[in-house]
């Protein structure tokens, strides 16, 4: 997908910057080049080469530190908040210099076209933006889905996100999107033939489905399991677009996304039990190989899946990173966890736990079979998912799934650049690339935990020290919704 300009791209640092004597990490192969100077001017990397000596006044001291491309959160929702600046700044304070916004609107697309989607230089870059989510409200029939896709393409959407549509309208959406040269991605509709969706160009699958989207495709009783999955109700589209529909959908979605697992029905849990009992690893690997062949990427968002399906686990409420969240948000999250705990029987909670383990196992299988993997968190609005800090949680869970430290680094750096078609400007630390960098205190290729040792960030050429990042975090404590 061709990148649209970020209005804040035109905000460079006030003066040239030298990051002195740093170890440059190439995420493509994990090679480390020590004792390098990275020179930045006008928002671009101008040179990378052997150091000219220790840091002087005005330089960034890179001695003993590791420079990687700035982290990208490939599944985030900050622009869906009334005031997105605080969550965006918290993301930046954790080393995230870019993000893919996963739910857009006509208003956001219009602001980007007008160059007014400017949230200040100390926020990550907006790398991709869709239009409205495809739901039964705007895509209740194949004809309506095709018309909505065409409308979003004309408005400049980078992609079309399938959210709550039914399986029968997905082919029409994909066909129309292909005609306009933009991808469809997001949530697999309930009961969809995932192989057919992949072959038709479904660009990236989010949340390993969600639900049984990919898991059902790994069952030796796949067709029966798909038939057992409850479908959402068909909502007929009004003959004209009503001005208040967007607000209604927005309120419904905002409430539901806190924890969609709360809406899981006994029938859906029964289908899940069947899918788990009939899991076939060779079918799973065959499906993964097809994804790799078709170019269907996966953004697992393991932290989001775990926070949904194990919502009442005590570790979430004890997370020290909750200090950043506002009291109102914390109250909502605590209430959601309590409601989730009481909404299901012990046997049903066990199904959720086993589904979580299966989705983690599938993440390893996808990686082993060559599927493109993207790091994403589903911040902002999701229960227990703290903007910025949750990317470190995602790294840890990807490690638990079996991905190597280098592979995890790639999912947040070089792979997003490849997926978004931005390899000419991002994904590596090289002259001519955007000056978006994350500085680490330990080798990210040696251990997964080292990816969380962020001690400096450069965004659009503006260098922020560890003290700057600490001050940003302190300022944001208790203020992020």
Q: Are 392 and 245 in contact (CB under 8 A)?
A: no
Of 400, 420, 440, which marks where a domain is finished?
420
**In the sheet that 71-76 helps form, which strands lie side by side, from edge to edge?**
71-76, 96-101, 125-128
Q: Do 378 and 471 belong together in one domain? A: no
pTM comes to 0.95
Give the other-Cβ count within 10 Å of 41's Cβ. 16
Structural domain includes residue 387:
yes
What pLDDT, on the 0 to 100 scale, is given for residue 253? 60
Q: Are 395 and 448 in contact (CB under 8 A)?
A: yes
Residues with Cβ within 8 Å of residue 397, at least 6 apart in sequence: 302, 303, 306, 360
How far is 33 from 45, CA to CA, in rounded Å?
16
Give the other-Cβ count within 10 Å of 139's Cβ. 29
Q: Do 430 and 387 belong together in one domain? A: no
Token reading at 298: 């996966």
Q: Do 52 and 108 belong together in one domain? A: no
Q: Do 114 and 245 belong together in one domain? A: yes
Residue/partner pairs of 338-343 with CB below 8 Å, 24 or more apart: 338/312, 339/262, 340/259, 340/261, 340/262, 340/311, 340/312, 341/311, 341/312, 343/262
The CATH number of the domain where 23 resides is what? 2.30.40.10
Q: Do 310 and 453 belong together in one domain? A: no
Structural domain includes residue 1:
no
Q: Do 128 and 222 belong together in one domain? A: yes
Per-residue pLDDT of the chain (481 residues; tens, 9 = 90+): 545 555 444 445 557 899 999 999 999 999 999 999 999 999 999 999 999 999 999 999 999 999 999 999 999 999 999 999 999 999 999 999 999 999 999 999 999 999 998 898 999 999 999 999 999 999 999 999 999 999 999 999 999 999 999 999 999 999 999 999 999 999 999 999 999 999 999 999 999 999 999 999 999 999 999 999 998 644 444 544 555 555 555 555 667 789 999 999 999 999 999 999 999 999 999 999 999 999 999 999 999 999 999 999 999 999 999 999 999 999 999 999 999 999 999 999 999 999 999 999 999 999 999 999 999 999 999 999 999 999 999 999 999 999 999 999 999 999 999 999 999 999 999 999 999 999 999 999 999 999 999 999 999 999 999 999 999 999 999 999 9
Structural domain includes residue 4:
no
Of 396, 420, 444, which marks where a domain is finished?
420
Task: Give the DSSP H/E element, type plus range, for residue 359.
Answer: helix 346-368
Token reading at 260: 């969609």
The CATH number of the domain where 214 resides is what? 3.20.20.140
Q: Are 434 and 426 in contact (CB under 8 A)?
A: yes
Judged by DSSP in three states, 295 sits in coil
Q: Do 100 and 152 belong together in one domain? A: yes
How far is 460 from 369, CA to CA, in rounded Å?
35
Q: Whole domain around residue 106: which residue ranges?
A: 71-420
What pLDDT, on the 0 to 100 scale, is given for residue 236? 47
Q: Do 116 and 191 belong together in one domain? A: yes
Q: Do 173 and 44 belong together in one domain? A: no
Number of residues written out for the chain: 481
Q: Do 360 and 231 belong together in one domain? A: yes
Structural domain includes residue 481:
no
Beta strands in 323-425 (DSSP E): none
Residues with Cβ within 8 Å of residue 332, at least 6 apart in sequence: 258, 383
Structural domain includes residue 6:
no
Number of domains observed in the structure of the chain:
2
Task: Name beta bridge partners: 160.
Answer: 184
Q: Do 153 and 291 belong together in one domain? A: yes
Cα torsion angle, 152, 153, 158, 159, sign: positive
Structural domain includes residue 3:
no
Q: Do 114 and 195 belong together in one domain? A: yes
């Amino acid at each position: 997908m061709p990148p649209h300009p970020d209005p804040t791209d035109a905000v460079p640092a006030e003066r040239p910057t030298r990051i002195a004597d740093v170890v440059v990490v190439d995420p493509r192969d994990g090679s480390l080049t020590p004792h390098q100077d990275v020179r930045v001017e006008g928002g671009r990397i101008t040179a990378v080469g052997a150091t000219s000596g220790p840091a002087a006044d005005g330089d960034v001291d890179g001695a003993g530190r590791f420079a990687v491309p700035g982290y990208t959160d490939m599944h985030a929702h900050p622009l869906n908040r009334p005031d997105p600046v605080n969550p965006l700044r918290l993301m930046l304070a954790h080393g995230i210099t870019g993000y893919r916004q996963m739910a857009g609107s006509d208003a956001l697309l219009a602001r980007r076209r007008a160059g007014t989607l400017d949230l200040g230089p100390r926020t990550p870059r907006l790398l991709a933006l869709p239009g409205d989510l495809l739901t039964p409200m705007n895509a209740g029939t194949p004809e309506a889905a095709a018309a909505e896709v065409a409308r979003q393409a004309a408005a400049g959407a980078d992609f079309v996100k399938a959210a709550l549509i039914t399986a029968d309208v997905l082919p029409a959406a994909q066909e129309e999107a292909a005609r306009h040269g933009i991808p469809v991605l997001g949530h697999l509709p309930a009961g969809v033939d995932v192989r057919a969706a992949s072959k038709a160009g479904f660009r990236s699958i989010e949340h390993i489905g969600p639900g049984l989207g990919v898991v059902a495709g790994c069952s030796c009783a796949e067709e029966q399991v798909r038939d057992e999955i409850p479908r959402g109700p068909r909502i007929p589209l009004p003959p004209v677009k009503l001005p208040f529909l967007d607000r209604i959908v927005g309120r419904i979605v905002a409430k539901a996304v806190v924890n969609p697992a709360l809406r899981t029905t006994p029938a859906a849990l029964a289908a899940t039990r069947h899918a788990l009992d009939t899991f076939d690893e060779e079918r799973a690997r065959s499906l993964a190989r097809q994804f790799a062949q078709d170019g269907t990427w996966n953004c697992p968002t393991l932290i989001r899946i775990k926070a949904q399906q194990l919502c009442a686990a005590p570790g979430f409420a004890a997370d020290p990173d909750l200090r950043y969240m506002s009291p109102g948000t914390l109250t909502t999250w605590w209430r959601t966890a309590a409601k989730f705990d009481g909404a299901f029987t012990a046997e049903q909670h066990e199904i959720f736990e086993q589904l979580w383990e299966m989705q983690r196992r599938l993440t390893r299988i996808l990686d082993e079979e060559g599927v493109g993997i993207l790091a994403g968190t589903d911040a902002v609005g999701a229960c227990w998912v703290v903007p910025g800090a949750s990317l470190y949680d995602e790294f840890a869970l990807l490690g638990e799934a079996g991905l190597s430290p280098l592979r995890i680094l790639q999912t947040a750096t070089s792979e997003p650049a490849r997926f978004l078609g931005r390899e000419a400007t991002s994904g590596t630390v090289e002259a001519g690339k955007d000056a978006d960098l994350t500085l680490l205190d330990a080798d990210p290729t040696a251990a997964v935990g080292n990816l969380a040792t962020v001690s400096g960030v450069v965004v659009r050429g503006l260098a922020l020290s560890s003290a700057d990042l600490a001050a940003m975090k302190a300022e944001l404590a208790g203020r992020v919704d």
